[in-house]
Amino acid sequence: MLMMIGPVQFKVAPFNATEYARTHTASHVAKQVLGAAPPLEFTGEGEESWSIRAILFPEKFGGEGTLNILSLMRRSGQPQYMMRGDGGLMGWVVIDSVSERSSYLDPGGVGRVIEVDIALRRTSAPLAGAFFSSLTQVFNSIF
């Protein structure tokens, strides 16, 4: 496994994460003073976000259902736990957006290559009841 967001696992096949990027910031407030550049006061952690680029070869390996799961997770708005394949804990995130690009369309109009971009943002851990309710909704929609 390369990475995992909630129930979605990125593996070499069928859903391959090819790269990810992370942006993390600090929050500062400017204090206005006369005749000088305003000193900045550190107010804590700022936003933290990730972007993941993945690729699917549905004709060869399948995996189209994973796109539906990502869409359901995004639509629910519920935090998902993110973890790297080496066990690195990335924390709780929400899915801001999922973009898909299909190329080499087959006779049915399905892409033989589907590139996926996922935008994530760090959030706090959900309440236990809300999290399990969200998981149940996602799994019920799949099965």
The confidence score (pLDDT) of residue 139 equals 60
Residue tagged 């690009």 (tokens):
101
pLDDT tens column, 94-114: 999 999 999 999 999 989 999
pTM metric for this prediction: 0.82
pLDDT single digits (tens) 28-50: 999 999 999 999 999 999 999 99
Apex 84 CA angle, 79 and 88, nearest 5? 95
Query: Rounded CA gap, 59 and 10, in Å?
Result: 17
